[in-house]
Amino acid sequence: MDAADGLYVLGGVTEIGIIADTHGELHPGIPEAFKGVDLILHAGDVGGDHVLKALRTLAPTMVVEGNNDPPGLYGQAVEFLVNDLRIHMSHGHERGWWPTAEWMAGKYTDCDVIVFGHTHKKVSTMVGQTMVINPGAAKNPRPSVARLNVVTRALVMITLPKVPA
């Protein structure tokens, strides 16, 4: 990673796995869902270092702090460049309880892609020229994650099977 204008510039990244709101649980379908990704983004509410350790066995992982993570453990937000895309990731709780795609795009206006979590609801939408992604929560009752190809800008939202209690 090289720093340019205060941003990380990542090379060699084509596929990004996007996950949020694990709350200490790593769904058993994650390794298959993220097979072959070059980078994983975790948009907060990790719930324990064991989750990040497991994700890092699949690919390098960037993480931001969620409202349920210990304060100061991770950064509040990260912005970086990959394949000429400026990507912002934060948990979304900077908005309060219910961040929307429109609010996130209005706050981070200089980004091509915005990744957030917090609501446990899947979002994949364009707000103007900005792609806004919330992968949903990667835990029951509706576990989901996402994959983004940064070359084609193709986004796939992946619904995982519910894990029996």
pLDDT per residue as tens digits for the range 49-101? 999 999 999 999 999 999 999 999 999 999 999 988 999 999 999 877 789 99
Q: What is the secondary structure of 118-139 as a DSSP string?
A: SS--EEEEEETTEEEEEE--SS
Give the count of domains, the chain. Answer: 1
**Residue 165 lies inside a defined structural domain of this protein:** no
Q: What CATH code is carried by the domain that includes residue 20?
A: 3.60.21.10
Beta bridge partners of 123: 134
C-alpha pair distances (Å), 50 with each of 24, 27, 53, 64: 8, 12, 5, 15
> Which residue range is the domain that position 27 belongs to?
10-159
Mean pLDDT computed over every residue of the chain: 93
Average pLDDT over residues 119-134: 97
- The two structure tokens encoding residue 148: 């983004």
Q: How many CB atoms lie within 10 A of CB 79?
A: 16
**Residue 133 lies inside a defined structural domain of this protein:** yes
**Residue 55 lies inside a defined structural domain of this protein:** yes
pLDDT per residue as tens digits for the range 14-62? 999 999 999 999 999 999 999 999 999 999 999 999 999 999 999 999 9
**Residue 121 lies inside a defined structural domain of this protein:** yes
**Residue 111 lies inside a defined structural domain of this protein:** yes
Q: Is the pTM of this model over 0.75?
A: yes
**Residue 142 lies inside a defined structural domain of this protein:** yes
Classify the phi-psi angles of 33: left when phi > 0, otherwise alpha if psi is within -120 to 50, otherwise beta. Answer: alpha
- Per-residue pLDDT at 139 exceeds 50: yes
- Per-residue pLDDT at 150 exceeds 50: yes
Residue (of 26, 61, 53, 46) closest to 139 by Cα position:
26
d(CA 164, CA 100): 31
**Residue 164 lies inside a defined structural domain of this protein:** no
**Residue 68 lies inside a defined structural domain of this protein:** yes
